[in-house]
Amino acid sequence: MTYYPFVVAAVLFVAGLYGAITSRSYVHLAVCLTVMQASTYVLLLAIGYLRGAAPPITQGQLPGTRLVDPVVQALTLTDIVVSVVVLALILSLAVQAHRRAGTVDPDKLRRIRG
Amino acid sequence: MSLLLPLVVALPLVVAALLAAVGTHLPRVLPDLIAIGTAAAVTAISLLLLLDSGDHPIVYWFGGWRPVPGPGGQPHVIAPGIAFVIDPFAAAEAALAGLAVLATLIFAWRYFETIRHLFHALMLAFLGGMVGFALSGDLFNIFVFFELMSVAGYALCAYRVERPDVLQGSLNFAILNSMGAFAMLMGIAMLYGSTGALNLVDIGSTLSHQHPTGLMVASLTLITVGFLVKAGAAPFHFWLSDAYAVATAAAAAIFTAVMGELAFHVYARIYTTVFAESITGSAAAAVTAALISLAVLSALVGAVMCALEADTKRQVAFLTVSNGGAVLAGIALLNPTGLAGAIMYIVAAGLLRGALMLGLGMVVTRLGTSDELRLRGRGRARRHIPLGVLIALCGLGLAAPPPFGPFLSLSLIYDAVDQAGYGWVAPVLAACVAVSAGTVLRAAARIFLGWGDRTDPLLTEQPEEPQEGEPEPEERGARRRLWMLSPAFALVVAGYGLAFGPHLAAHAIDAARGLQDHAEHARLVLQGIVPAPRPLPDYHPSPLALGYGAASFAGALLIAAAGLWWQRLLASTSKRLRAAVLPPANALKALHSGNVGDYATWLVAGTAAVALSWALTLR
Amino acid sequence: MNRRVRLVLLMPSLAAILGVLLWGYTGLPNFGTTISSYGQFIDRVAEPQRHVTNLVSAVMFDYRGIDTLVEEFILFASVMGVALLLRSSREVAEQRPRDVVTSDAVRTAGSALAPVMLLFGLWIIAFGYVTPGGGFQGGVAASAGALLLWLAGSYRTLRDLSPTFLVDAAEGLGAASYIGIGLLGLAAGSPFLYNTIPLGTAGTLASGGTIAALNWVAGIEVAAAFVLIYHEFLEEYIQTFTYTKADQ
């Protein structure tokens, strides 16, 4: 149990990467990138966890209770905003692909080569 | 100074926000002027920082959060806040970014009419991101500035997204850079988990006490891959050629001048501050070996593909990859001379490439296309002479003739590889410089002098597209005014002149030494103890380096001539030559298929190769 | 490369990466046993130093304030990017098709919930540095209220109630105000983003100094940014929806 959350993070990372590379749709690809990003959330939050500790809010807590790591939570929050933002941009590009080229399949959209 | 320092990041960002908020209500010329003024201010402040940081790096803690001693029993200090650590290299990079954006904004004067306020706001946000990326001393802060730079870059690249090649290029850009960024973030998370710190120096000192092998290998691989994807080192470079070739000239100029190379610089800084103390002896040799292989691969692939392209913007993209190989070689050596040479080369070659891309943008607008073969002879009129001179000067400068700017930096790299026992790398780099610069000269000669053949089976041509389009009819006259090239000429002069500052190379080596002295750097950043001044080292290019410089210059001219007339000169053997050379050339070109799945596969394969090699050798 | 070759290259590489990652994670402390010294430090000193009870907000808006500043600007840049990509190339600009909701239940529930959601979002922002929440979280929740307006009514209702120039201005001014508050520190002779406002008492709304101000500014900016993103994507959807309906 002490190692399991890290395994989850690693598997999510690799699974997202696999899904993105073998994807047949830019929308699916964008969501796979989100899965890759989710692996970093899992890792960060697992790093910051302390068994038996309280959330990092001191309102209503007895002074001296152990709290979990607030820094990773701030990092994860920033991470989430970054991932949403990138998702929005890639999806806008996918919408344009559908509109202009009539397809969202990466294999069918090839104008530049060599 | 402490008043101006945060402005170097705050000013472009606040002006970007205000322009986006109220820009549509401002009169026509005002947003352009405001943006140009802001970029000029950022450049000026960066230059001041460059001069100020000559003795020792400047450390600035945001929010006033200085490091505090750790709780009882803990040996190290805790840095609760975020610092900017500004050494001369970082300030020089920031100044380069400011200059590139300034030149581009002047070049793009009144070009983008309908979305003008968005364009200026994005450019300034991009500038703010680049400056912060170069200056920050906190690992997660570097990541968020990296993302700001990237997101603004994706948006700027996708201007004119209704064209299919722009769409494909932007998608490849966004997807591959994001994969690299997520890998980097994973590496950062691992380092935080292991050391409990985010300040670069703090992580470095803690890591050197701990020495966990597996984590070191994994995090070093992930962070290396993240930065090398952005920097465009092979085999992570595929997105770069697509994106830089399709982006509008204004954006592409900044990409090629500064964006990718910044990643090399910050990677060097992170490696030196975080990992170098823990990786010594044979492990360091393993890191050097892996990075040198990637560097040589980038230099070769970039140079060869550059010569095999007919589209001039794609040539510059591959030129960027090839120059990046030289930079990575300098960094890989992990000694002060190499690092100094790499950073100076980033600045010198970056200035020239930015000017080149701006010139090519004007070629597209005035002559109609960016394909070298289709443009043959179109530039022969007298009014195109300044443009031709500009492009020729860029090509000649990139060929690194002694004693100008690019040569001085390359000579530092040549001498460094010699010192480190990798002497065979120097002639390879010189040859790649010759080939890539020679291609630029070939294109210039073909376009502006009409020399060379009309067709060439070796060169790839892109499908005929209406290039860049004309934005609005009333802008047509404005776009052709030559004064818009003056910032490009200024960049060229700066690039050539980079060798002539007093003791420039000596100062660079001194700065690199200061960075690589871990104990002294740590004391400066975490405790504010200013180091004692050191005597300046002495540097003169060795005769060997001078030889390589002369050879690369002569070689560039030869390659240009060969590129123009090879079919005529080798008329009798040309059929056999074609049969021998075409298949491998086509195979290399087929790798650059334009498909994002292929590119990402190479990214994954490259990551696995680096990871496995370090897993086996980093002990 | 065809897909076969891609898989042959891909699978062993992914396996290698998975292996190296798992090996690397063994160097981390065991799950749940300890947190970093940085985290322990913040846990101990944040409330006494900054008089706030939500330590995550303290980290975001004070200790690592410049991270949050850049993150806001990432959101800002991406909204401009989305607008650039979708707005500038739309052929039919001003035709706002009608997509009226016909179900009474949806309309009633939606209209009742939209202001609730907006208020909830504002509450999360307001108490962001006292109880769990904060500018970013509350901003997203408030923007969901705007989305409910579309669900309950029509796209035209949404656009009428959230006019572009106002939302654009809110977003830009929100981002600029964050920097403005940071510059207050410079004006007071302290570093950028120094906490220059009186700190108040922990556990009440009047606490935290600049943390409270930055919290609100971030909340407004995030809400405006997300409403702009919804506008752009909904307009895409409506256009496709209208065209396909017209084809039938």
Question: Which residue among A21, A93, A97 sits closest to B597, beta carbon to beta carbon?
Answer: A21
ipTM of the complex: 0.95
**C-alpha–C-alpha distance, residues A38 and A10, integer Å:** 10
Q: Is C19 on the interface with A (CB under 8 A)?
A: no
- The Cβ of residue C104 has, within 10 Å, a number of other Cβ atoms equal to 8
Give the count of Cβ contacts less than 8 A between chain A and B.
123
Mean of all residue pLDDT scores within chain C? 85
User: What would the pLDDT profile of C71-101 be if each residue is shown by its tens digit?
Assistant: 999 999 999 888 888 875 555 545 555 667 7
Q: With 60 as the cut, is the pLDDT of residue C244 above it?
A: no
Q: Do B596 and A29 touch (CB under 8 A)?
A: yes
Residue of B nearest to C90 (CA): B162
- Chains near C with 3+ CB pairs less than 8 A apart are A, B
User: What would the pLDDT profile of B275-299 be if each residue is shown by its tens digit?
Assistant: 988 888 888 888 999 999 999 999 9
Confidence of residue A111 (pLDDT cuts 50, 70, 90): low
Note the pLDDT of residue C162.
83
Read off the pLDDT of each residue in C3-11 and give the average, rounded to a whole number. 89
Q: Do A93 and B171 touch (CB under 8 A)?
A: yes
If residue B227 lies in a helix (H) or strand (E), which one and from where to where?
helix B213-231
Read off the pLDDT of each residue in B128-139 and give the average, rounded to a whole number. 95
Read off the pLDDT of each residue in C160-185 and give the average, rounded to a whole number. 88
On chain B, the residues whose CB falls within 8 A of the CB of A97 are 167, 171
Note the pLDDT of residue B29.
82
Q: Do C21 and A17 touch (CB under 8 A)?
A: no
Confidence of residue B129 (pLDDT cuts 50, 70, 90): very high
Note the pLDDT of residue B517.
86
Q: Which residues of B321-342 are buried (b: 16+ CB within 10 A; e: fewer)?
A: bbbbbbbbbbbbbbbbbbbbbb
Note the pLDDT of residue B283.
85
Read off the pLDDT of each residue in B421-440 and give the average, rounded to a whole number. 92
Beta partners for residue A57, in sequence order: C54
On chain B, the residues whose CB falls within 8 A of the CB of A110 are 168, 593-595
The answer to whether B197 touches B78, Cβ cutoff 8 Å, is yes
User: What would the pLDDT profile of B443-475 be if each residue is shown by its tens digit?
Assistant: 999 888 888 888 877 787 776 555 444 443 334
Cite the beta strand spans of B68-171 per DSSP E: 68-69, 77-78, 83-86
Min mean pLDDT across B101-115, B143-157, B543-557, C130-144 is at: B101-115
The structural domains of chain A, with segments of one domain joined by +, span: 4-51+66-104
Q: Structure pTM?
A: 0.94
**C-alpha–C-alpha distance, residues B581 and B588, integer Å:** 11
* CA of C131 vs chain B CAs: smallest distance (Å): 22
Q: Is B308 on the interface with A (CB under 8 A)?
A: yes
On chain B, the residues whose CB falls within 8 A of the CB of A94 are 171
Q: Rg for chain B (alpha carbons), in Å?
A: 23
Min mean pLDDT across B223-232, B451-460, C59-68 is at: B451-460
**C-alpha–C-alpha distance, residues C120 and B393, integer Å:** 62
Q: Do B190 and A110 touch (CB under 8 A)?
A: no
- Chains near B with 3+ CB pairs less than 8 A apart are A, C
Min mean pLDDT across A42-56, B209-223, C52-66, C77-91 is at: C77-91
Question: Which residue among C17, C30, C229 sits closest to A14, beta carbon to beta carbon?
Answer: C17
Residue of B nearest to A48 (CA): B193
Read off the pLDDT of each residue in B307-328 and give the average, rounded to a whole number. 92
Question: Which residue among A17, A49, A71 sits closest to C42, beta carbon to beta carbon?
Answer: A71
Note the pLDDT of residue B474.
36
* CA of C76 vs chain A CAs: smallest distance (Å): 9
Q: Do A3 and C38 touch (CB under 8 A)?
A: no
Mutate to test the interface with C, among A22, A78, A79, A80 (most CBs of C within 10 A): A78
The tokens for C68 are 């949050």
Note the pLDDT of residue A114.
53
Give the count of Cβ contacts less than 8 A between chain A and C.
155
Give the count of Cβ contacts less than 8 A between chain B and C.
231
Q: Rg for chain A (alpha carbons), in Å?
A: 19
Assign residue C32 a region: left if phi > 0, alpha if psi is -120 to 50, beta otherwise? left
- Chains near A with 3+ CB pairs less than 8 A apart are B, C
**C-alpha–C-alpha distance, residues A30 and A106, integer Å:** 12
Mean of all residue pLDDT scores within chain B? 87
Residue of B nearest to A20 (CA): B597
**C-alpha–C-alpha distance, residues C112 and B174, integer Å:** 40
Read off the pLDDT of each residue in C128-133 and give the average, rounded to a whole number. 88
User: Which architecture characterizes domain A4-51+66-104 according to CATH?
Assistant: Orthogonal Bundle (1.10)
Note the pLDDT of residue C90.
59
User: What would the pLDDT profile of A3-24 be if each residue is shown by its tens digit?
Assistant: 899 999 999 999 999 999 999 9
**C-alpha–C-alpha distance, residues B309 and B457, integer Å:** 11
Q: Residue B475: exposed, middle, or buried by beta-carbon count in 10 A (0-12, 13-18, 19+)?
A: middle
Note the pLDDT of residue B459.
81
Residue of A nearest to B151 (CA): A86
The tokens for C232 are 């752009």
User: What would the pLDDT profile of B564-613 be if each residue is shown by its tens digit?
Assistant: 887 777 777 767 777 788 888 888 888 888 888 899 999 999 999 999 99
Mutate to test the interface with A, among B78, B138, B182 (most CBs of A within 10 A): B182
The structural domains of chain B, with segments of one domain joined by +, span: 7-462+500-617
Give B530-588 as a 3 state SS string. CCCCCCCCCCCCCHHHHHHHHHHHHHHHHHHHHHHHHHHHCCCCHHHHHHHHHHHHHHH
Q: Do A49 and C53 touch (CB under 8 A)?
A: no
Give B338-354 as a 3 state SS string. HHHHHHHHHHHHHHHHH
